[in-house]
Amino acid sequence: MASDPTPSARSNYIDTGPENPDLQAEYDRLRGELTRLLAQPVKDFPRIDELVDQLELTQLAFKEQHGIKGNNPNE
């Protein structure tokens, strides 16, 4: 039996409580910060890696919140 490797938003990977009700806004904020860091002449790669990880968790939480599983939009 195959298991779903997608982390659950309720698994404490990302806070979806009252302090963070709008995952889209959080995703947009993280993307803005990532864009800003990538435009810098000297790259802060540890911070960039951290932001990419946070973006992934936010995207997975957003998808789960909207009932989307995997990468197939028809699911």
The DSSP line for the chain is -----SPPGGGTSS--STTS--HHHHHHHHHHHHHHHHHSSS--HHHHHHHHHHHHHHHHHHHHHTT--SS-TT-
Task: Report pLDDT for 1.
Answer: 42
Q: What is the pLDDT along the chain (75 residues), one digit of tens a residue?
A: 444 444 444 445 555 454 446 888 999 999 999 999 999 999 999 999 999 999 999 988 888 887 777 776 665
Task: Report pLDDT for 13.
Answer: 52
